[in-house]
Structure 1
Amino acid sequence: MASKKTVDQSAYSNFARTQTNKYKPPKQGSAGKKKLSKAEKEKLKAEEEERKAVEEEEARQKAEEEEKERKEKEKLEEAEKRKLENAEKENRRQEMLALTDLQEGNQNRLNELNNDRRRKAKWARYMRCDGSPDPTIPGEINTYINLRLEDSKHNDIDSVLKQGDLDLSLINELDYLLEDTPESELDIDELERYKSTREDLQQLIQTKLDAATVMILGQATDLCDTETIKLFEFKERGFQFEIPRLLTLSDVGFRVLLTQYDHYSSTCKSYYPRKKKKEEPIEEVKEEVQEQEKKEEEEEKGDEAAEEGAEKEDTEDLMAMLRQMKGEAPPEEEEKVEEVEKAEDVEEFEDPITPEPPEWEDFDEDEDVMDLRANHVLGGVFHFNLMQLPPQPKTVNNWVITRLVDPPVIEYVDYVADTMNPLLNKEGASPSQEKEKAADTQKRDEKPPIAVTLRLPMGCLFTEEPQVARWDDKKKHWRQDGFTDFKYNEETRMFSFKTAYFGTMALLQDAHINMPFQSWELRPHKTNSAVLTIIAAIIEIEIEIKDAMCCLSKPDDKPELEHIKGRWLTPKDLIKTLRKAGINVFPADDSAKYVSIQDKEDWSLFLMTKRRSLKLKMTEFDDAYSEDYAEGTAFKSNLYHLLTEYSTKDARERIMDTNFEFTDCVHQLLSATKVLTYA
C-alpha cells in the first residue's frame, strides 16, 4: 500500500507540472500587470532616494579627498618653490655682496691712485718755473691776459703764433681740469671761473691774430703780388680761391687763417644734449591719487584675507571630517608644509634704483642750421675773410709817411653774391637799372659766388663727402645756406665749392656714420691685456688694452690715422683723439635719436636682469624671443659669477690676478662704445 501510494503521488506531480507548462494565459497588455499600491510606491521611491544619497555622498567624499590631495600637492609644491626661492635669494645675496665688495675695493684703490696723481700734478704745476701763469689762480691769469693785450710791440705774426701756443696750452689745461676733477671737489664758483678764463684766453688768441693781420695789411703795398689777378693759391695747404673782377679793382685784402681748434661750436645751443622737462603733477592731485591708491590697497588686502580665511576654514573642516570618518591621523606632509610656512623668508638684496631713461628734445631750428648733436666739426675751422686795406705808407723823398690808426682794428667788407641778394633780379641788377647800365658796367659790378678749393686736412678721416658750413656770429650757430657746386675727389682729397659769403667756415661729418656697429669682440691676450675689435658700419678698428693704457692698432690702410696709431693713451685721451680724427664709435647720451639699433651677432646669449643672470637656450637666428634657459645652466645673480661658472681653472685664476687699473680701462671703453646697445 505504501509503495502504491508513493507511485500515485509521483504521477500526479508529473501530470501537474505538465499541465502547468502547457497552459499559458493570454496576454492582456498593461491591463494584465499587477498594480502597485501607494505604500509600495513610496517604499520604492524611498529606496531610490536612499541609493542616490549614498552615491552622492560617495561622490562628495571622493571629490573632497581629491580636492584635499590637490591642495596638499599645491602646498607641497609652493613650499618647495619657496624653499628654492629662499635658497636662490640667499645665494644671490651672498654673490652680490661679494661682487659689491670687489667693486668697492677696486673703486677705492682707483680713487686713491687718481687722488695721488692729482696731488702730484698740482704740486708739479706749483713748482713749474717756465714763466707761464697758473690758469686756476685769478691774479696770475688776469695779469697775464692784460699784459698781453697792452703789448703792441709783439704783434708781428711770428710772435703771435709763438705766444698762441702757450695760450692754447693754458686752455687745454683748464679743459683737463674741468674733465678730470670730481664734481664733489669743484664748486660752482670755481667751475664758472674756469669757463670764464677759458673764454678770455680764446678771445685773447683771436684779438692777437687780428692785430697781426692789421700789421700785415698795413704793409700790403710792399707785400702784394702784382701778378695775382684772378686766382690765388696756398700750395702748401692746398687752398686756392678765385677773385671776382669787382674785388681786383678794390682796395681790399683776403685773409685765409687755418686753425686746428674750434672755439665756436661750444657756444652753440645744439652742441649739448637737452633733456625734456617733465611736468610735475599738482601737489593736491598727487595727494588725492595717493590716498585713493592706499584705500584700494587696503580694500584688496581685506578681501584677500577674508577669502584666504574662508578657504582655510573650509579646508580644515573638510580634512577634519574625513579624518574623523576614516579614523586617520594628520599626514606627515602637512607637518612639513606647516614647518615651511612658519619659516621666515630670506632677506632680499636691495638693488640700486635704476633711473628712468631721459627723453631728449629734438633740434628745432630751420633746415639750413647744422645740428651739432648729429654732426661734428672735423679739422678745425678756417677763416676766409674780406677786409678793407688800412692807409698804406707813402714814400716822399727819403721819408716814409704812415697814418696811424689807434687802436688798429680790422674793417671787414660785406660781400653777398648776387644770387643770394633778394633785392636783385635774376640778371643781377635792380629793376630800375636794367636798361640804363651798359653791358660792361654791369659785368664789372657783378658779385658772383667765390670758387674755393681746398685739400682736406691731414690727420682727419673723411669717410664721405664733407659738408661745409659758415658761422653766424649773431645767432651762434653753423649755417649751410650760401654754398653751391660741390665737388669731391676722394683719391686726391680735394674738395671744392662756391660760396656767396666770406667768413668763418668749417667742414663737418655725420657724427653717427659708423653706427650701428656690425659686430664687436673683446679678446683677452694675457693677464691684464686684451684687444677690443669693433667692426663699425664703414671702418674696422682694433684697440689694444694693457693695464691702465690703450692704443689704436688698426686699421692699417688709413694714412690719415698713422699719427695716432701705436700711441698709448688713457681711455679719455684716446676717445678724444679718435673723435678729433673722424672716428666716432662712441655714442652720445642722445644718439638713440639718430641711430637705428640692429640685431646682435651669432654667439651664446645670456639673459641679465637685476635679479639673475643665466644662459639662454635660444640663438640669434630664432624667430621668436624666449627666456627658456639652456640645459644644465646655472642661475647666478650677476654676469661676473655666471661667467666664472663657465670658465676654466686657468681663466678663473687670470680673473683673480686682474688688476683694478685694467678693469677700469676696459670698463671705460665699453661704457664709451656702448657695444651692448649699438651693435
Structure 2
Amino acid sequence: MPPKQGSAGKKKLSKAEKEKLKAEEEERKAQEEEEARIKAEEEEKKRKEREKLEQAEQRKQQNAEKENRRMEMLALVDIQEKNKSMLNELHGERRKKSKWARYMRCDGSPDPTVPGEINTYINLRLEDPEHNDIDSVLKQSELDINLINELDFLLEDTPPEDMNAEEVDRLRLTPLQKLYHDARNTREDLQRLIQTKLDAATVKILQQATDLCDSETFNLHYLKKNEEICLCIWGNLSKNPRIKSFEFQEKGYQFDIPRILTLSDVGFRILFTKYDHYSTTCKTYYPRKKKKEEPEVVEEVKPDEEEEKKDDDTEKDKDADAEGGDGDDDKEDTEDLMAMLRQMKGEAPPEDEVKEEEEEKVEDVEEFEDPITPEPPEWEDFDEDEDVVDLRANHVLGGVFHFNLMSLPPQPKTVNNWTITRVVDPPVIDYVDYVADNMNPALNKEGQSPTQDKDKQAETKRDEKPQIGVTMKLPEDCLFTEEPQIARWDEAKKHWRQDGFTDFSFNEETRVFSFKTSYFGTMALLQDAHINMPFQSWEIRPHRKNAAVFTIIAAIIEIEIEIQDAMCCLSKPDDKPELEHLKKKWMTPKDLIKSLRAVGINVFPADDSAKYVSIQNKDEIVGSRPLDKHPVLEEWCYEQMALVASGVAFSWSKWNSDTPDKEKILFQGSEALQDEPLLEEDWSLFLMTKRRSMKLKMTEFDDGYDEELAEGTEFRSNLYHLLLENVSAEAKERIKDSDYQFVDCVQQLLSATKILTYA
C-alpha cells in the first residue's frame, strides 16, 4: 500500500535555500532592469541621433532653400535695379531737355518756377485795364491755365534729389518743401488772376448791356467761350414781369426768374470752368493720417539708486559663485582642455562634437533680408456737419460753375454827340444778396409771417424770394453713372456744402439734371468716388512682345486699356459717347489715370479707399478698416507680373478674396503667345507669399481650398523664377527681351488699380 500524500511528503526548504532563491530572483530582476535600462538608453540615444540627423537634414534643406532664395532674390533685384537705373537715366535726360527747351522758349510766357518772372507777369496783367475785354481775357486765360498745369507737372515729375538748394535757407525749408511752397503760392496767384480778369470782363459786358441787348426781347443775352471757360450773362433791361425763366440753349442751362427779380436791375451770370480751383483748398481733399500716441516717458533712475542697484547685483553674484554658480564656466574650460589634449595626441573628436560643428557650420548661411514692412496707417475721419462734403468719398466732376446774381451798372447815356459811361475802377462785380425764404425760419412755407393781415399778403407775395429752379444738361465729356449730387462752395470755411438744394430730378436718357437752390454762388456736381469699387474681375493679356491689353470689369463699367511700350490708351467701352475724346489717345500711365478720373472713371483706389470700400469678406473686417493684402507682397507681385507680361497672362481668382490670410495672394496665370482670348482650361492657379511662389494643383472651379503643389512642379522663392521654369522657350525669350519702359508702364497701371486687393 503506497504512502499517503501530505504535507509530510513535501521537502521543506531551509532558510539558507530560501535566501539563496530570493537573492537569485532579485539578481534576475536587477539584471532585467539593467538590460531594460541599457536598452532604453540605447533606444533614446538612437532616437536623439535620429532626431539630430533629421534636424540636421532639415537645417540643410532650410539652408539650401535660404541660399536658393537669396540667389534668386538677388538676381531678381539685379534685374529690377537695372530697369530702374535705365528709367532714371531716361527721365533725367528728358528733364534736362525739357528745362533747356523751357529756357529757349521765346513766346513771351514766363517761367512759373522763377518768382521774378511770374510775379512781373501777374502784376503787369493786373495793371493792364486795356485788355479786360472778354476776347483778350479768354485768350490770356489759356496761357494762365497752361502755366498752372506746368507747375503741377513739375511738382509730380521732379525728384527730390534734383532740387536746386539755392535760397533754401531763406525760408528754412528743404528744397522739395521750397518747391511746393513757391508752386502753391504761384498757383494761387494765377488762379486769382484768372478769376479777377473774368470778373473785369463781366463788368465790362454789363456796362455795355444796352448795346449788346437782344433785338427781340430787349434783354442782354451774351455767351462767349473757349475750350476751358464758358461765360453766359443775362441782363434784365426790359423788366417784363411776364418773363418766368430763361435758357442758354447753346449750353443747355435754364433758370427761373422770380417776380421780384423781373422788376429789378439785375443780371445773371453763369460761368462754366472745366477746372476746379476750389477743392484743393479744402481740408477734406487730402487724406489725413491719425497721429500716433507718444510712448510713456520712463522715469530716469537717480545716480544714488543706480549705485545701490549695482551693489545689490554684486552681492547676488558673490552668493551665486559661493553656491557653485560657476559650474558652467568650469564645464566649458574642461571641454576646451579635453579638446586641446586630443589635438596634441592626434585623436579625432567624438562624433557628437563633429555633428555639432557641422550643424554650426550649416547655420552660417546668409539669408536674403526682406524690406521692413511699414505699419499700416490709420486715417482720420472728418468730423464735420453732415452737409459738408467729404472729398475723399466724392469727386467734383465736370468742373465748377458760378451761378451769380449781380446788379446792372448804369448804362451809357448819349447826350448830343457825347456818350457818358460810368467807370468803375477797379472793375468789381456788385453781387446781390439773395437767400430764398425757405431758409428763413421766421417765415412759413408761403413766405409770410402768420401774423400778417390779408391786406398785406399781396404785397408780401410780390416781395417773396422763392427758390430758383435750375435745369442743366450734364457736360458732354463726363460720364455720370448715377444721379449727380449738387454742392455749393462756402468761401468763408473753404468747403463744399449740400444744404439749400431741393427737388432733384435726373433724366438718364437726355442727361438733364434739375434742382432748386436757395442760394447763388459757386456750385459743382459730385459723384461717388468709389462707385466702381470693388471690381468684379480683371485680366491682363499679352498682345505681342512689349504689348498687352488690361481689362477691368468694375462695379458699373468695363474698361480696356491697351499698353504699347511706355504708352497706354483707353480702347473700350464702345457704347459711351462721353469717352470718345479719350479713346485711342496714347499717353503715359499718369496722364491716363488723371484723364480717366476727370471724366468720371475712377478705378484707381487712393491710400485711404479701404475706409469707403468693403474689399474683403465681412468676417475679415478688423474694426472699421477692411483687411488689405500685405503691401510689400502686393507690390512685389505687381513688379514681377510686369516683368513677364509680354509672355504670360494673369487674371483674378475668387480664392484671393476668400483667403483671410493677408500674406497670401492667389491669382490665375497662363502662358499666352497668341493674341487671342484664353479658354478656362488654359488657366492655372498660383499662390504667392513673401517667401514662396508656387503653382497649385487645385483650379478656380474646385469646391475646396488646397495648397498642394501641381504635379511636376516645385515652389520657388519668387513668381518671376517660378514662371520662367513653367513657360516655353519662346515665352522665356520674349520675357527676357521685354523693354524696361513696357515693364514700368504695366507696373504703374497694376499698382494704381490695386487689383489684387480691390477685386
**Class of the TM-score when normalised by the shorter of the 2 chains:** 0.7 to 0.9
- Structure 1 residues 109 and 437: CA distance shift in structure 2, 3 A: farther
Distance 2:68 2:133 in 1: 73
2:293 pairs with 1:279: yes
CA RMSD of aligned residues (A): 3.0
- Structure 1 residues 645 and 286: CA distance shift in structure 2, 3 A: farther
2:749 pairs with 1:663: no
Paired letter, 1:448: P
- Structure 1 residues 62 and 422: CA distance shift in structure 2, 3 A: same
The residue aligned with 2:209 is 220
1:553/1:565 contact within 8 Å kept:
yes
The residue aligned with 1:175 is 152
- Structure 1 residues 502 and 42: CA distance shift in structure 2, 3 A: same
The residue aligned with 1:363 is 382
2:387/2:498 contact within 8 Å kept:
yes
Aligned residue pairs total 626
- Structure 1 residues 272 and 623: CA distance shift in structure 2, 3 A: farther
- Structure 1 residues 496 and 287: CA distance shift in structure 2, 3 A: farther
2:653 pairs with 1:601: yes
User: Quick check: which one's helix share is greater?
Assistant: 1
SS at the partner of 2:469? strand
Offset at 1:183?
2.2
The residue aligned with 2:591 is 573
- Structure 1 residues 241 and 286: CA distance shift in structure 2, 3 A: farther
2:692 pairs with 1:612: yes
Distance 2:107 2:511 in 1: 41
* Deviation digits for residues 357-409 of structure 1 (CA, Å, limit 9, x no counterpart): 21111121111111100111110001001112222223344443323232221
The answer to which of 345-354 and 577-586 deviates more is 345-354
The residue aligned with 1:348 is 367
Offset at 1:139?
1.7
Offset at 1:632?
3.5
State which of 265, 270, 288 in structure 2 corresponds to 1:256: 270
1:418/1:428 contact within 8 Å kept:
yes
* Deviation digits for residues 25-69 of structure 1 (CA, Å, limit 9, x no counterpart): 5x78xx997765554443443333223222222221221122111
* Deviation digits for residues 417-443 of structure 1 (CA, Å, limit 9, x no counterpart): 111112323432235x52265232121
2:54 pairs with 1:77: yes
2:423 pairs with 1:404: yes
1:424/1:430 contact within 8 Å kept:
yes
Distance 2:123 2:697 in 1: 70
Distance 1:195 1:510 in 2: 27
Distance 2:143 2:504 in 1: 37
The residue aligned with 1:98 is 75
Distance 1:616 1:368 in 2: 51
2:599 pairs with 1:544: no
The residue aligned with 1:415 is 434
* Deviation digits for residues 573-609 of structure 1 (CA, Å, limit 9, x no counterpart): 1110111011111000111111111475253443333
Distance 1:62 1:287 in 2: 58
SS at the partner of 1:635? coil
2:148 pairs with 1:129: no
The answer to which of 199-208 and 157-166 deviates more is 157-166
1:530/1:544 contact within 8 Å kept:
yes
2:713 pairs with 1:636: no
Distance 1:117 1:605 in 2: 41
State which of 470, 475, 481 in structure 2 corresponds to 1:463: 481
The residue aligned with 1:324 is none
State which of 187, 203, 207 in structure 1 corresponds to 2:196: 207
The residue aligned with 1:184 is 161
State which of 77, 88, 97 in structure 2 corresponds to 1:111: 88
- Structure 1 residues 220 and 32: CA distance shift in structure 2, 3 A: farther
Paired letter, 2:256: E
Paired letter, 2:145: L
SS at the partner of 2:130? coil
SS at the partner of 1:665? helix
After TM superposition, the structure 1 = structure 2 runs for residues 268-347 of structure 1, keeping only pairs within 5 Å, are 268-284=282-298, 339-347=358-366
The residue aligned with 1:651 is 731
The answer to which of 98-107 and 179-188 deviates more is 179-188
* Deviation digits for residues 188-207 of structure 1 (CA, Å, limit 9, x no counterpart): 22321111111100000000
After TM superposition, the structure 1 = structure 2 runs for residues 507-586 of structure 1, keeping only pairs within 5 Å, are 507-586=525-604
Paired letter, 1:203: R
SS at the partner of 1:153? helix
* Deviation digits for residues 57-86 of structure 1 (CA, Å, limit 9, x no counterpart): 222122112211111111111111111112
2:199/2:427 contact within 8 Å kept:
no
- Higher RCO, 1 vs 2 (CA within 8 Å, ≥6 residues apart): 1
Offset at 1:263?
0.3
1:218/1:391 contact within 8 Å kept:
yes
SS at the partner of 2:255? strand
* Deviation digits for residues 223-273 of structure 1 (CA, Å, limit 9, x no counterpart): 252468111101111100111111111111110111100000000000001
State which of 11, 28, 31 in structure 2 corresponds to 1:54: 31
Identity of aligned residues (%): 75
Offset at 1:447?
1.1
1:75/1:337 contact within 8 Å kept:
no
TM, length-normalised to structure 2? 0.78
- Structure 1 residues 335 and 630: CA distance shift in structure 2, 3 A: farther
After TM superposition, the structure 1 = structure 2 runs for residues 472-483 of structure 1, keeping only pairs within 5 Å, are 472-483=490-501
TM, length-normalised to structure 1? 0.86
2:464 pairs with 1:446: yes
State which of 192, 198, 210 in structure 1 corresponds to 2:187: 198
